[in-house]
Structure 1
């Protein structure tokens, strides 16, 4: 009788371990998928900003826009249109899941307000800087923005006194080395015009996203991640559209009416909005899979898996924009591909000890 009981316990433990292993693998796959979706979000967003009215603004510039308006106001507008589309997808998803009421209830709670603060940092600041950098320097800026986990670790040490061990410091060093390798392509006589400035603006995006990660960590620990995503995307889109775009219209254009006219033209440009709808969907899927993957395989491993967008971003832009759309300038030198892969490893080192991935767990 005792032998039968021991056998049953052993089989139960084996089944439990197998279930946990499958759950972990599924979490890793979802987190990796988030990085891939971020790559497609970058590609579709950039493609959308070449279609319809955007082609007139960035191409022939028949509207007679100034260089500052094209660089900063249109960058903020592109970010706003994408985030609004992403917010719509998030709201639709929340409604289908029966969580729309929870979304409105969470807005006036402390975790909800924390998520709003995080979105205000990552939306008007980082998202706009990311779009501006993409337009100025191309997909080479994406690995630079992937510095956000390293920056987040440093900021967490400064702001929240979180410990930085030797492994994390080594990982941060690897990420910095990778960024230096990528940045080296932006200097010199043969570097395209605007690339160095684009790389610097990309670092601003990484800084903002690193700070957002520190702030959002508190909010997402206390509310449903799917609600947190909806709050984040909605706040980001509206703050860009209501605050930053009009502000840039006043600073760089002819006032609020000027920016309002550009907003109306952007949202009514059918050929462009099709791609913005796709980029918004990919952005929403990226955030959702990132949060879900983190909950299944742990925040550290999830962050490392999501960091693969340092590779997927340039790759998807090259495929979608360079190969399929036939646009020039999206091929990258070998050093950038190597640096992107190296940065992925650096992010993994920050998040966890890579050797733990190869350790076999003992059966309890």
Structure 2
């Protein structure tokens, strides 16, 4: 076997490994919507919603409850990731990466802004207003955002096949949003805030992927994702939740203490483990196959989530969600079947 054949074999292994990580991300991400749906019905989140609804209205109750759930999700994820990095012996690397703020860790803290209070909070808002099936597929447009930003920002290549996949994903996303909105309008009402939450998720995760791709040029994925969730926890617990306490007079920290009951902890731990390792897989795929392809294959989470939601809750989504999800997944598969040689170099010259 000559050098060229060895190089091609190594490239194929690298690409296959990248797609494998992206697929693991899709399955774990889909599973995350199970605890993400259950937690709304558990104390204190159920009574919290009722109490805030009585004083501030249903919309405020849903958004504020989603904020506290998102904060706990970030907390359980960081705990899972700290255990993971401890097992891998990467605390020293984490310390070095954290100190290298300007060349490295600043990217992960920036990613935490778009991935946390924009994408994840938006996803929970979509679940709260429209339902878990919509919340699961609303963000399927995010590979479009991520691919375009990665191309414009640091020249990540978009091949013709990848461009076709992105276009199909865009059509699927439009079907989900416009079709769902028209269905609700025909019924006489529409949960606009839920659709805004879905757009927050689509834009936020796309931007986060592009930013993280920049940071992963010089940082390990396991360490980078931990710093990203460290930033998200600071945003929730030090900034946003105190603002809600001061501005609205809602006892958020009292509700947080009440959430430390066995059932809520069990469900939140399930969320933390599935979402934490979903993110590890997501970040590991980026250096191997690029942000656009990593996000495109991970888009299969929409199909996984809809299947899991149906199996666990018996919830059958609207036909627009099925059609839109099918188009998004088709677009992801178009990107998936690129030849390894087409992505030998992830970035343009």
Instruction: State the TM-score, normalized to the length of structure 1.
Output: 0.81
Q: Deviations over 1:218-245 (max 9, x none)?
A: 1111111100011112221231122112
Which residue pairs with 1:283 in the alignment? 275
Q: 2:134 aligns with which of 120, 128, 140?
A: 140
Deviation at residue 295 of structure 1 after TM alignment: 4.5
The answer to whether the 8 A contact 1:41-1:279 is kept is yes
Closer, same or farther in 2 for the Cα pair 1:294/1:271, shift >3 Å? same
**Aligned equivalents of 2:282, 2:209: Cα separation in 1:** 12
- In the alignment, is the contact (CA less than 8 A) between 1:35 and 1:308 conserved in 2? yes
1:332 corresponds in structure 2 to 317
Contact persistence 1:143–1:343 (CA under 8 A)? no
| 2:213–2:287 Cα contact (<8 Å) kept | no
Residue 118 (structure 1) aligns with? 111
Q: Which residue number corresponds to residue 194 of structure 2?
A: 198
Q: Would the alpha carbon gap of residues 22 and 174 (structure 1) be closer, same or farther in structure 2, given more than 3 Å must change?
A: closer
2:311 to 302, 310, 319: 319
Following the alignment from structure 1 to structure 2, what is the Cα–Cα distance between the partners of residues 299 and 162?
A: 8
- Cα 1:160–1:26, aligned 2, differ >3 Å: closer, same or farther? closer
Partner in structure 1 of residue 265 of structure 2: 273
Could you tell me the TM-score, scaled by structure 2's length?
A: 0.84
Call closer, same or farther: CA 1:300–1:203 in 2, change over 3 Å. Answer: closer
For 2:143, which of 145, 149, 165 is the aligned residue? 149
User: How big is the shift at 1:312?
Assistant: 1.5
CA distance in 2, matches of 1:165, 1:13: 23
User: How far 1:64 moved relative to its partner?
Assistant: 4.4
1:71 to 54, 62, 74: 62
Q: Deviations over 1:159-203 (max 9, x none)?
A: 557676655554333222112221212324455855443123211
Pair 1:178 & 2:177 matched: no
CA distance in 1, matches of 2:112, 2:206: 12
Distance 1:300 1:181, change over 3 A: closer
Structure 1 residue 122, shift from structure 2 partner: 1.4
Instruction: Indicate the SS of the match to 2:99.
Output: coil
Of 99-108 and 298-307, more deviation after overlay is shown by 298-307
1:105/1:160 CA distance change after superposition, 3 Å: closer
Corresponding residue to 2:241 among 231, 235, 245: 245
Give the C-alpha shift of residue 212 in structure 1: 1.5
Once the two structures are superposed, residues 300-332 of structure 1 have per-residue CA deviations (whole angstroms, 9 ceiling, x without a partner) of: 543322111121122222223x14xxxxxx311
1:30 to 2:26 alignment:
no
Instruction: Quote the residue 1:326 is aligned against.
Output: none
Q: Which runs of 5+ in 2 are unaligned?
A: 343-349
How far residue 57 of structure 1 moved from its aligned partner, in angstroms, is 2.8
Task: State the secondary structure of the residue aligned to 1:222.
Answer: coil
Pairwise CA RMSD: 3.1
Secondary structure at the residue paired with 1:221? Answer: coil
| Higher gyration radius (CA) | 1
Match of residue 99, structure 2, among 108, 116, 136: 108
C-alpha separation in 1, matches of 2:106 and 2:303:
33
Residues 106-115 or 181-190, more deviating: 181-190
Q: Are 1:308 and 2:335 counterparts?
A: no
Partner of 1:223: 219
**Contact 1:229/1:287 (<8 A) preserved:** yes
